Amino acid sequence: MLYKRQEYFRHSFGTPLKASFRILIGEAANESNPGDCLLLDISPGGTKIATDFNLPVEKEPVSVRLHFTLFETPIDIGGKVVWKKQSVGGFQYGIDFVEDPSISKLIVDELKIRRRTEVGATDGKKS
């Protein structure tokens, strides 16, 4: 599998963010039952997730639909698994999102708001 990393930024979460995914099955893109995962990092073009599920990406490309909330707006986006790595307690996957400029903008906007609130929360704390 080829993996591209020409994106201009990637936001890593200090504490992984809870999310869910569904595997898209067949030409009609029927969806599996949801599975839990954690977002480890994200960019407008893709994400790295961790899950207990061992997806069969070695046989053929696997398409998924992810559902998560970065700040307050729920995001639902499709993508393809581009790499897989076994990790402690499960697996990590690189997901390349289906291009959608409006979702990419929403991801950037939600990350900006999330970051502002995180920085604001730490600015108010005194040592």
Model confidence, pTM: 0.84
Look at residue 2 and tell me if it is in a domain.
Answer: no
Does 21 reside within a domain?
A: yes
pLDDT in tens, 49-83: 999 999 988 888 899 999 999 999 999 999 999 99
Print the domain residue range for 24: 11-122
- Both tokens assigned to 25: 């099955």
Question: Residue 6: inside a domain, yes or no?
Answer: no
Partners of 73 in the beta sheet? none
CATH number at residue 17: 2.40.10.220
pLDDT score of 9 more than 50: yes
DSSP bridge partners of 103: none
What's the token pair of residue 117? 């609130």
Domain count, the chain: 1
Long-range CB contacts (within 8 A, 24+) of 51-56: 51/21, 51/90, 51/91, 51/93, 52/89, 52/90, 52/91, 53/90, 53/91, 54/91, 55/23, 55/81, 55/84, 55/91, 55/93
Residue 127 lies in a domain: no
Residue 82, domain member (yes or no): yes
Nearest to 91 by CA among 5, 31, 43, 21: 21
Q: Is 1 a member of any domain?
A: no
Instruction: Give domain status of residue 4, yes or no.
Output: no
30 inside domain: yes
Percentage above 90 pLDDT, the chain:
63
Residue 111 has φ and ψ, to the nearest 5°, of: -65, -40
